[in-house]
Structure 1
Amino acid sequence: MTSLVSSSPGTSPLVLDSPHSGTRYPADFGFACDLPRLRRAEDTHVEKLYDFAADLGVAWIEAHFPRSYLDANRNITEIDTTLFAEAWPDPVETDPQVLSKVRLGKGLIWRMTDDGIPIYERQLSVAEVRERIDRCWRPYHAAVAAAIEAAHARHGYSIHLNCHSMPAVASSHATEFPGEAHADFVIGNRDESTASRHLSLQICEHLTDLGYSVSYNHPYKGVELVRRHSDPARHRHSIQVEINRKLYMNEETLEITEGFAALQKSLQSLVALLLQTDPRAL
């Protein structure tokens, strides 16, 4: 069975991961909606934007499965029980804030596209969702955890960037702020619970100095990957980085545009800055 998760080890304190750029649609997906519409859920080309990381000694983890098949940035408790013909036997999230995203059709297993189109014309079985968790979610989180552990062991601290992209304008079922025009970057640390404020603001200031518009913890604060794998008190910092797709691609055709090279150069400068930054000294 082909692995749907890949990783490359690093030598630095920095770990990058891309959970949503996968384009391998498994044969057992069984979706019923239009594929081009479904593909707009991808963080398309994010893995290409950061393809310089390994050469700098930065650990890299990448999901090859699409987020609409299973969203690695959700907890396995974020289950939309309406997807099943049978009772889901495992724990289900009860936090109202988390459930608001599930109600939008964006739980661990997506029910809706970003513009509110149903993905399935069938009900799912408990067995197939458990298999997705075992094949996709568990190995992805294990790889991220191992990379952060190794980076921290080598240097006494770690900086984890959770790498994403976002549409220029929020769709109807993408966030709780439909129609909002996004900044060039959104930097999220779950209201400063997953990373140092000083480190996070240093990232914001660097990007602002490069000429980008930057939003902090709105409308994306960071979700499961930064929550689960951070511990700032022990010098394990996790920050979600959202990039506006208009900077580097055509959102309709998914084609890379001429802005890609300049954006990648900016990301290289950000990574270079972080490689020289010890958050314990901030």
Structure 2
Amino acid sequence: MSIDSPRFTARPGSTPLVLDSPHSGTSYPEDFGAALPLAVLRQAEDTHVEKLYDFAPQLGAAWVEAHFPRIYLDANRDTTEIDVELFDAPWPHEVTSDEVVLQKVRLGKGLIWRYTDEGQPIYDRRLSVAEGQRRIAECWAPYHQAVSNAIDAAHARHGYSIHINCHSMPSVAASHATLHPGLKHADFVIGDRDGSTSSPALSRLVCDFLGSRGYGVEYNHPYKGVELVRRYGKPQEHRHSIQIEINRRLYMDEKTLEIVQPGFDRLRKDLRDLAELLLRTDPRALQPPPAAR
């Protein structure tokens, strides 16, 4: 059953392929209360990713798309990734103690962002605990449920599932965006958390295909994949999850957010061809890549 709500869209599929876009939302809730202009807030979006993959339902792939913006709540973070300094009272739920995760939280990139990618404070106030809980209940929980349901349905139909977590990235990492400020990004970064969320052979198939189309591709560097692939990728159960990051300079003007041609159309066609390749691929039949010497 299709779901169209103010918070997200979910389209069911008939194939093993599931795609989701957690960061392309452009519907800014009235209760956001940010202190920055919309033009600044919008720089956090994975702008136009939903358009790049708009062929998904035509191919029978399940599609889940967030409408809420990433800077309001980041669905690709765990609910424990909380910046406790953002709230006006103690956070009453579990908070991560993972030091790598906490480095990102300190940059302002937890479940609810505190700073923009350029280090600007998003709020001129403390949020209430109730605000944070409401965002989780209204945005994070139903989005994750939709992704989980789509993967479960694909796996039940076919005995395996291939989940692609769809993202974009700036051409150069900003000061507060990642742990690699100033890094010039490749055309694509393919992440499977070092082979823990997908068969490495399937991930390598994705890398090789994109490389054959003339793109520069990095594998698990600098982005290995975050919560959505970590949570739902279980290759030992034939549930494969891969994060795909696309360099925005390939298809848009990063300042104006306008689509740039012919880059956009070329990229969209290549992504569709990749999806069609994955639809012809049973990961259970793939041979593992040779061990490194």
Q: Aligned residue for 1:262?
A: 266
Residue 35 of structure 1 and its aligned partner are, at CA, apart by: 1.7
Residue 38 of structure 1 and its aligned partner are, at CA, apart by: 1.2
User: Does 2:39 match 1:36?
Assistant: yes
**Per-residue Cα deviation, 1:15-56 (whole angstroms, up to 9, x for no partner):** 000000000000000000122111010000000000011000
Measure the CA separation in 1 of the matches of 2:215 and 2:233: 27
Flag as ranges the 4+ runs of structure 1 deviating above 3 A.
none
List aligned pairs for 1:72-111, cutoff 5 A: 72-111=75-114
Q: Aligned residue for 2:202?
A: 199
User: Does 2:283 match 1:274?
Assistant: no
Q: Aligned residue for 1:210?
A: 213
Instruction: Give the one of 11, 16, 19 matched to 1:16.
Output: 19
Amino acid at match of 1:253: T
Instruction: Give the one of 135, 139, 146 matched to 2:138.
Output: 135
Measure the CA separation in 1 of the matches of 2:8 and 2:213: 33
Amino acid at match of 1:187: I
Measure the CA separation in 2 of the matches of 1:254 and 1:215: 24
Partner SS state of residue 44, structure 2: coil
Amino acid at match of 1:273: L
Residue 250 of structure 1 and its aligned partner are, at CA, apart by: 0.3
Q: Aligned residue for 1:49?
A: 52
Residue 3 of structure 1 and its aligned partner are, at CA, apart by: 2.7
Residue 2 of structure 1 and its aligned partner are, at CA, apart by: 5.2
Amino acid at match of 1:271: A
Q: Aligned residue for 2:233?
A: 230
Measure the CA separation in 2 of the matches of 1:33 and 1:161: 32
Scaled by the length of structure 2, what TM-score is found? 0.95
Measure the CA separation in 1 of the matches of 2:222 and 2:119: 19
Aligned identity (percent) is 67
Measure the CA separation in 2 of the matches of 1:72 and 1:175: 16
List aligned pairs for 1:115-134, cutoff 5 A: 115-134=118-137
Residue 156 of structure 1 and its aligned partner are, at CA, apart by: 0.2
- Stretches of structure 1 that go unaligned for 5 or more consecutive residues are none
Scaled by the length of structure 1, what TM-score is found? 0.99
Measure the CA separation in 2 of the matches of 1:166 and 1:45: 12
User: Does 2:152 match 1:149?
Assistant: yes
Amino acid at match of 2:247: N
Measure the CA separation in 1 of the matches of 2:268 and 2:5: 29
- CA RMSD in angstroms comes to 0.9
Measure the CA separation in 1 of the matches of 2:237 and 2:33: 43
Measure the CA separation in 2 of the matches of 1:263 and 1:242: 13
Partner SS state of residue 15, structure 1: strand
Residue 224 of structure 1 and its aligned partner are, at CA, apart by: 0.3
List aligned pairs for 1:161-176, cutoff 5 A: 161-176=164-179
Measure the CA separation in 2 of the matches of 1:234 and 1:84: 39
Measure the CA separation in 1 of the matches of 2:88 and 2:15: 47
Measure the CA separation in 1 of the matches of 2:110 and 2:29: 19
Residues paired across the two proteins, number: 282
Amino acid at match of 1:280: R
